[in-house]
């Protein structure tokens, strides 16, 4: 696959690799096993970072959308698109990991409590946002519509986060970003979680920068065939002459 070079990516990739390695060791080896939930609790070290970095991605969509409307530069629209695509993927990941965690601990893969329902709605809303992005051929018309939806859609994020505080749910209330001061979590577990969040964030920044660079290159040179849509290489099979 052809790569779009982005300045500073080398350093960022190295930092991400170190953070991922550290997060894996902390989450799987160093962090103690949870007294109640056992080994399944270790899913927290990926489930929570996936959810938080999804929030961060949607916040990026919000800020980029506002910046587009203020400056009318398509660069910000590309940031919004890249962040929304990543946010959708991470929300789906958080749901999938949450299901894997819920089955052994709660006893069910899925249940209709407020946290789970609002998260599913969040995912669908941003899938719809990605659809809205492609409803106009004029890039500025598409960017304007997307920016409006990208700003309003962010209302879902606080609803998801506070669903476990506002309403009575099966999902536990937040441990770290909760209303109370000191989080009820063992310090080593908190470090493993923090390292996981750093790793996910660095990877997210890397992915969004690459995607924005690629979208920019495509916009600058519309004649260039986007990757994945090239015609497959023609393979000609010439029968060998029989001996």
Which residues contact another protein by CB under 8 A? Answer: 32-38, 41, 44, 104-108, 111-114, 117, 120-121, 124-125, 127-128, 131-132, 134-137, 167-170, 172-175, 178, 184-186, 189
Q: Residue 31 CB, nearest distance to another protein (Å)?
A: 9
CB contact at 8 A, 217 and 225? no
Quote the least distance from Cβ 121 to another protein, whole Å: 5
Helix (H, G, I), strand (E, B), or coil: what is residue 49?
helix
Q: Which residues contact 86 (CB under 8 A, 6 or more apart)?
A: 57, 204, 207, 208, 211
Is 26 or 44 the residue whose CB approaches another protein more closely? Answer: 44
Q: Which is nearer to another protein, 17 or 165 (CB)?
A: 165
Give residue 127's region: left, alpha or beta (phi > 0; psi -120 to 50).
alpha
Return the structure tokens found at 16. 């991400």
Give the whole-angstrom CA distance, residue 78 versus residue 82. Answer: 6
Nearest approach, Cβ of residue 34 and another protein (Å): 5
Whose Cβ is closer to another protein: residue 2's or residue 229's?
229
The smaller minimum CB distance to another protein, of residues 71 and 134, is found at: 134
CB of 64 to another protein, least distance (A): 20
Nearer to another protein, 10 or 32 (CB): 32
Per-residue b or e along 163-173, where b marks 16 or more CB atoms closer than 10 Å to that residue's CB: bbeeeebebee
Least distance in Å: CB of 45 to another protein? Answer: 11
User: Would you give the DSSP letter of residue 186?
Assistant: -
């Amino acid at each position: 696959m052809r790569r779009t070079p982005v300045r500073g990516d080398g350093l960022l990739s190295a930092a991400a690799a170190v953070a991922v390695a550290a997060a894996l060791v902390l989450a799987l080896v160093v962090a103690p096993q949870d007294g109640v939930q056992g080994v399944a609790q270790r899913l927290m070290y990926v489930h929570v970072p996936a959810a938080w970095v999804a929030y961060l991605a949607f916040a990026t969509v919000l800020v980029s959308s506002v910046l587009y409307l203020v400056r009318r530069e398509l660069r910000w629209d590309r940031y919004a698109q890249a962040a929304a695509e990543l946010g959708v993927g991470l929300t789906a990941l958080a749901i999938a990991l949450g299901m894997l965690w819920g089955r052994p601990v709660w006893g069910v893969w899925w249940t209709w409590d407020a946290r789970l329902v609002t998260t599913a709605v969040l995912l669908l809303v941003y899938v719809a946002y990605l659809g809205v992005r492609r409803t106009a051929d004029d890039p500025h018309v598409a960017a304007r519509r997307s920016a409006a939806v990208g700003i309003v859609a962010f209302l879902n994020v606080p609803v998801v986060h506070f669903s476990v505080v506002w309403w009575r749910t099966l999902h536990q209330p937040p441990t770290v970003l909760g209303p109370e001061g000191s989080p009820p979590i063992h310090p080593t577990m908190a470090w493993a979680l923090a390292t996981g969040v750093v790793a996910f964030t660095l990877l997210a920044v890397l992915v969004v920068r690459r995607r924005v660079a690629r979208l920019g290159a495509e916009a600058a040179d519309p004649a260039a065939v986007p990757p994945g849509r090239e015609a497959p290489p023609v393979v000609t099979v010439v029968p060998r002459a029989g001996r």
